[in-house]
Structure 1
């Protein structure tokens, strides 16, 4: 019974808690973002905001 704690430490070692690969995060967010853009017609707002940020950054 005392050996279970050491096995848990070995299993969790090497994993980063609370982080996920950026591609996984993107794959999770894109469907919802696409739905919101289509549902609310927000594409123009996204383009406007991106343009504003680009101007602010000096591009």
Structure 2
């Protein structure tokens, strides 16, 4: 379970990814670390990145 503050932060970053806006390296590292311990965040991240990113990771 993630806190409300963390959820809001994650959703904000994911919205910027989906809209092709600037996301810092620090934010990307934060998402990566959190997605490795939270299946919910991992699903959100996969959805935000789209199917192209998923296929690149699996090649």
| TM-score with structure 1 setting the length | 0.30
Larger relative contact order, structure 1 or 2 (CA cutoff 8 Å, min sep 6): 2
Higher helix share: 2
Structure number with larger C-alpha Rg: 1
